[in-house]
């Protein structure tokens, strides 16, 4: 499903950079822009998933800290000083 991508008001510097990148890759400007958009969306999705994992891990660490506070470390009796 290839269609024309209309780019308006992005500035001459960006247009020039896109033209140069498209020439260097041997692709159309539209394909370069679509690739950049896809890469950005994939990166944003990965960042959201990572942030959700970190939030989940923090909740687990808080539960572990609460358990350690009340029960102490589970293998403390095997430690030798």
In a domain, 1, yes or no: no
Is pTM beyond 0.75? Reply is no
In a domain, 7, yes or no: no
Asked if 4 and 30 count as a contact pair (C-beta separation under 8 A), the reply is yes
- The pLDDT of residue 77 is 59
What total of structural domains would you count in the chain? 1
* Closest of 9, 4, 12 to residue 31, by C-alpha: 4
Asked if residue 1 has pLDDT above 60, the reply is no
In a domain, 38, yes or no: yes
Burial 7-41, CB ≥16 within 10 A → b, else e: eeeeeeeeeeebeeebeeeeeeebebbeeeeeeee
- The pLDDT of residue 62 is 82
Quote the domain boundaries for residue 45: 12-71
- The pLDDT of residue 24 is 97
pLDDT digits (tens, 9 = 90+) for 8-56: 788 899 999 999 999 999 999 989 999 999 999 999 999 999 999 998 8
């Amino acid at each position: 499903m290839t269609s024309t991508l209309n780019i308006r008001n992005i500035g001459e510097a960006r247009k020039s950079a896109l033209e140069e990148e498209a020439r260097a890759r041997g692709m159309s400007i539209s394909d370069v822009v679509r690739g950049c958009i896809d890469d950005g969306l994939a990166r944003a999705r990965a960042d959201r998933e990572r942030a959700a994992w970190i939030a989940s891990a923090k909740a687990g660490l808080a539960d572990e800290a609460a358990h350690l506070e009340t029960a102490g470390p589970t293998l403390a009796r095997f430690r030798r000083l």
